[in-house]
Structure 1
Amino acid sequence: MGSQGSLSDKTSGITGVNQQEDIHTAAEKGLAATDKYGEATVQFDKDAERRLRLKIDLMIVPTVAVLYLFCFIDRANIGNARLAGLEKDLGMTGTYDYNTLLSIFYISYIVFEIPSNLACKWIGPGWFIPFLSLCFGIASVGTAFVNNLPQACGVRFVLGVFESGMMPGISYYLSRWYRRSELAFRLSLFIVMSPLAGAFGGLLASGILSLESFGSLHRWRMIFAIEGIITIGLSLISFITLTDRPETARWLTQEEKDLAVARVKSERLSQSSVLDGFDRKKVWLGFWNPVVLSTAWVFLLNNITVQGLAFFLPTIVANIYPTYTTVQKQLYTVPPYIVGAFFTLLLPGLAWKFDRRQVFFILSAPLVIMGYSMFLGSTDSKVRYAATFFLTSSCFSLGPLANAQAAAQVNSDTSRGVSLATNMMFGNVGGLIATWSYISWDGPNYHIGNGLNLAAASVILISSTLTLFWMKWDNKRREKRDVDQELSGLTAEEIENLEWRHPAWRWKP
């Protein structure tokens, strides 16, 4: 492995460091990176890694998961508010008024995706993520006081600005702490809040709507106000609980900090540091990466389904059970999301076990295809309600898988921030398409929306399969390259900046 000795330090969990140097000095000198062939220069004690990983799991993941739960609730609760009279109270009478209101959110969400994640790297996620949460919580409260469509559109635009950085920001933040194989499951632990937000949001909306009033607010306005206030409170707490990176974590010993840094660095080809300086070439290669762009394309298609369900599942359920009360309709949206949450953890968990992600892209598509085929092929209410379970059982899992794949296919911290933001930017183009996939005049069967989602799932199956074959083909081609010859004459900085163009780089399927 190119190690520099035989010392085994069970306290730090790092082996292969010269006995004359302590672990901290070794990490500073870059011994915990890789050589030019991609081989790690140190080895790690598995038990020490396991203890450290559990500690990080308990201290980091719960906070970001709860923040993302209310991020998604504050975005999707407009579907619950629609059932509670939002359109009538705001004078929304046109066929496309509701879809316009949804689209405004995604315009700002898409535009600010990459700038937000670059700001996250510059400011530090330990401060930036709580700041975003505070701002979109305030925006949610503001929605409770709008009186017409233009005002609602303005607030939704602001909401999109601040929510745009949450998913890529948290994904980038977790990549500072976890290995490539571990990341998909840890991402699932916060992205699972998407389906849980649908379930919990429906329950919470039902409970809120049972109140007579909240101050001077009534009906759907109470949903935005109460949920926004909860978000604000959680964000203030997270300013205290989130730590920016391993080196600043007060709950880690110095040996644990060094191990946390070294094990992440050991997977970054020829990189001398985990948190590199800003570099425009790395920014470009984080975006212009064939597998990142393919993953982002798949995520775009998947988000047509995910975001469509978030905004329109209450409406779909209302059309399946038109005689039920508003509260009953809200409650019927809960079970499909519970099933979705289970599979959102299961598939990334398997991806962690096998250190594979692309194959699970392929496996996720058939159930979505089956669900929309049932919608298109039957008008029976039981069949259609059953179809929603097929949809949620696989479409939500692509969120953590796609972000983990985008993170795995780049090398430096700068490129990783951009690749994750690129994945989310494309994904939210899918969200924008979703806002126009279910048009009121196409109801109650929604042939256009269901047909579009069926086509999207089919293209996911084809695109993911072709990408997997290409990755394997290109890896075989790269094995024939002469690493020493291609790196000859390059400085250390130039080698670091090669990213996926490094001759020793291999795609990670």
Structure 2
Amino acid sequence: MAAMKKHPEHPTENVAVLSEGDAITRLRTKMDLHIVPVVAVLYLFCFIDRANLGNAKISGMDKDLKMTGFEYNIILSSFYISYITLEIPAVIVCKWIGPAIFIPLTSIGFGICSVCTAFVSTTPQACAVRFLLGAFEAGMMPSIAYYLSLFYSRAELTFRLALYIVTAPLAGAFGGLIAGGILKLPRIGSLTSWRMIFFVEGIVTVGIALVTVFLLPRGPGSTSWLRPEERTLAMERLRAERGASPQEILDSGDGDKLKRTRNARQFLRGLGSPVTLSIGFIFLLDAVTVQAFAFFLPTIVRTIYPTSTTVQQQLYTVPPYLVGAFMMVSMSGMSWWTDRRQIFFKPSTTLVLIGYIMFLTSSNPHVRYGATFLVSSCFALGPLTNAQVAANVISDTTRSAAISMNCMFAHCGGLIGSWTFVEWDAPHYRIGNSVNLATSATILVMSTAILLWMKADNKARDLKEQEANENGLPEGKVEDLDWRHPSFRWKP
């Protein structure tokens, strides 16, 4: 109605605009209902299978395996060794066979690894199983992010990334609830206590992954639950935003062996983008906090409330995760509304900074427990950073590379985070808290600096574009340049 009043001399044009907007809304709603819940559930159990080690530790795993010294940290690190080294190869395999096939298959793999963890009896065995778990989980986060980018526009992507990455803090909440419930069971066969946590959660993961094999469409052009005109609209709006050919949009998600020189060059463009590298380093710093929070929150809660029962300590971990989930969704929702990402790095990181100051300056248990709620804001940067690197490249191949590089940086941060809290630094963990205070402060400085650089470089590109237009560029070379093309502008 507002549009009709503004342009009364063109009523039919206004009706057409409103009609197109309604069609996009219906299309987006269908994708939200058919795609996001499926990948969100898979990532939920991905993170549960990863983070349940912290729940198992305070449930007797450390005593049964006779862990001493740094052995728990070593088990955590064995996961990240394979996780980091196989990150980019996993995304290449994903693009080769298509994410709709790769994502369920790799989920089955890490579910089986979780089941196997229930049967380990020594620390070396636990390290070996966690190494395999990391190998199967390596491509999960970037592959889902890349998969969603096949369906959603730049502005829409951040919020949809949040809707699946939010399962990471929810996994911490559900993990504590599930672990508390499982521990009340007497036994499952010959399995008791912490072993049942891995067994039950692993079996559920495998079952869900088997179902999703039949639920995920390969791309916007092969969705059975969209009408032909909706499939055309889904591809056309992405083509208009990204400048891709109709055939490229149609083929997205169908697998690509990256054999052609052009595709390989575009993949390298994604890996080497200055925004990919700088935002990736920010994600690394944030992941130090995220992974330390996931793996050590149960241990930290036990030092805060040492007289509580194990089940009560598990349940104390739930509320901070729920706050983290809220922060992630709210920040990403505002990002969608404004089509901005970089500016939303600051609010959540500031809360994390305050939380670690509280940890370092107070020994009051209520203050320290309150600090965990502020620190949980660290989860908000996951969807924001992935959406930011995806928004600042052009081609499908370049985008898959940028997302995988960003996630690889994050998992390097996870490896660092697994060593920030050590037993001899308990109960106040001043070293771990100080490290995370420093990473949060660095994120605030870097995110501001990158934003200023993007604005300055865009102005410089305005001048270079005129010169490039005068001289001309071969068409094939223009396609390969991606973010290096003179007409490209960074999107904050």
TM over 0.5: yes
Residue matched to 2:99: 125
**Alpha carbons of 1:483 and 1:234: their partners in 2 closer, same or farther (altered >3 Å)?**
farther
1:144 aligned to which of 98, 101, 118: 118
The letter of the residue matching 2:99 is P
2:333 aligned to which of 345, 349, 374: 349
The letter of the residue matching 2:337 is K
2:57 paired with 1:82: yes
Tell me the distance in 1 between the aligned counterparts of 2:470 and 2:84: 38
Deviation at 1:47, TM superposition (A): 1.4
SS of equivalent residue, structure 1 residue 212:
coil
Runs of 4+ that moved beyond 6 A:
8-11
Tell me the distance in 2 between the aligned counterparts of 1:312 and 1:179: 36
Alignment of 1:269-280 (within 5 A): 269=243, 273-274=248-249, 275=251, 278=258, 279-280=263-264
2:287 paired with 1:315: no
After superposition, give the CA deviation of every residue in 1:180-213 in whole Å (9 maximum; x if it has no partner): 0000000000000011000000000000000000
2:389 aligned to which of 395, 401, 406: 406
Deviation at 1:216, TM superposition (A): 1.2
2:410 aligned to which of 427, 449, 456: 427
Tell me the distance in 2 between the aligned counterparts of 1:270 and 1:212: 58
The letter of the residue matching 2:328 is T
SS of equivalent residue, structure 1 residue 499:
helix
On the 8 A contact 1:189/1:345 being kept in 2, the answer is yes
**Alpha carbons of 1:9 and 1:412: their partners in 2 closer, same or farther (altered >3 Å)?**
farther
Give percent identity, aligned residues only. 54
**Alpha carbons of 1:313 and 1:419: their partners in 2 closer, same or farther (altered >3 Å)?**
same
On the 8 A contact 2:298/2:314 being kept in 1, the answer is yes
On the 8 A contact 1:178/1:264 being kept in 2, the answer is yes
Deviation at 1:481, TM superposition (A): 2.3
1:193 aligned to which of 164, 167, 171: 167
1:506 aligned to which of 485, 489, 492: 489
On the 8 A contact 1:483/1:504 being kept in 2, the answer is no
2:426 aligned to which of 443, 468, 473: 443
Tell me the distance in 2 between the aligned counterparts of 1:364 and 1:206: 29
Tell me the distance in 2 between the aligned counterparts of 1:396 and 1:99: 22
After superposition, give the CA deviation of every residue in 1:223-276 in whole Å (9 maximum; x if it has no partner): 000000000000001001111101111111111111111111212146562357
2:223 paired with 1:249: yes
Alignment of 1:153-164 (within 5 A): 153-164=127-138
SS of equivalent residue, structure 2 residue 487:
coil
The letter of the residue matching 2:76 is L
On the 8 A contact 1:138/1:232 being kept in 2, the answer is yes
Tell me the distance in 1 between the aligned counterparts of 2:186 and 2:13: 63
Residue matched to 2:176: 202
**Alpha carbons of 1:235 and 1:249: their partners in 2 closer, same or farther (altered >3 Å)?**
same
Residue matched to 1:291: 275
The letter of the residue matching 2:341 is R
Tell me the distance in 1 between the aligned counterparts of 2:244 and 2:368: 53
After superposition, give the CA deviation of every residue in 1:397-455 in whole Å (9 maximum; x if it has no partner): 10000110011111101011110000000001100000000010000000000000000
The letter of the residue matching 2:48 is I
Tell me the distance in 1 between the aligned counterparts of 2:369 and 2:55: 18
Coordinate RMSD, CA, aligned: 1.9
On the 8 A contact 2:288/2:414 being kept in 1, the answer is yes
Residue matched to 1:66: 41
Deviation at 1:157, TM superposition (A): 0.4
Q: 5+ unaligned residues in a row in structure 1: which ranges? A: 1-7, 16-42
Tell me the distance in 1 between the aligned counterparts of 2:109 and 2:329: 29
2:21 paired with 1:46: yes
Deviation at 1:122, TM superposition (A): 1.2
On the 8 A contact 2:395/2:482 being kept in 1, the answer is yes
SS of equivalent residue, structure 1 residue 444:
coil
Residue matched to 1:391: 375
Residue matched to 1:479: 462
Deviation at 1:484, TM superposition (A): 7.4
On the 8 A contact 1:104/1:156 being kept in 2, the answer is yes
Deviation at 1:143, TM superposition (A): 0.4
Residue matched to 1:98: 72
Alignment of 1:335-374 (within 5 A): 335-374=319-358
Tell me the distance in 1 between the aligned counterparts of 2:267 and 2:76: 30
On the 8 A contact 1:52/1:256 being kept in 2, the answer is yes
After superposition, give the CA deviation of every residue in 1:65-121 in whole Å (9 maximum; x if it has no partner): 00000000000000000011111111222x100000000000100011111111111
Deviation at 1:386, TM superposition (A): 0.4
**Alpha carbons of 1:9 and 1:151: their partners in 2 closer, same or farther (altered >3 Å)?**
farther
**Alpha carbons of 1:245 and 1:44: their partners in 2 closer, same or farther (altered >3 Å)?**
farther
On the 8 A contact 2:327/2:348 being kept in 1, the answer is no
Residue matched to 2:6: none
On the 8 A contact 2:244/2:395 being kept in 1, the answer is no
Residue matched to 1:180: 154
Tell me the distance in 2 between the aligned counterparts of 1:178 and 1:315: 39
Tell me the distance in 2 between the aligned counterparts of 1:62 and 1:358: 26
Tell me the distance in 1 between the aligned counterparts of 2:402 and 2:245: 17
Q: 5+ unaligned residues in a row in structure 2: which ranges? A: 1-11
The letter of the residue matching 2:478 is I
The letter of the residue matching 2:27 is L
Tell me the distance in 2 between the aligned counterparts of 1:270 and 1:214: 54
On the 8 A contact 1:269/1:505 being kept in 2, the answer is no
Deviation at 1:492, TM superposition (A): 2.9
1:55 aligned to which of 21, 25, 30: 30
TM-score w.r.t. length of structure 2:
0.93
SS of equivalent residue, structure 2 residue 35:
helix
Deviation at 1:486, TM superposition (A): 4.6
**Alpha carbons of 1:391 and 1:487: their partners in 2 closer, same or farther (altered >3 Å)?**
farther
On the 8 A contact 1:375/1:387 being kept in 2, the answer is yes
Tell me the distance in 2 between the aligned counterparts of 1:157 and 1:287: 25
The letter of the residue matching 1:181 is A
On the 8 A contact 2:391/2:491 being kept in 1, the answer is yes
Alignment of 1:327-342 (within 5 A): 327-342=311-326
Tell me the distance in 2 between the aligned counterparts of 1:198 and 1:111: 25
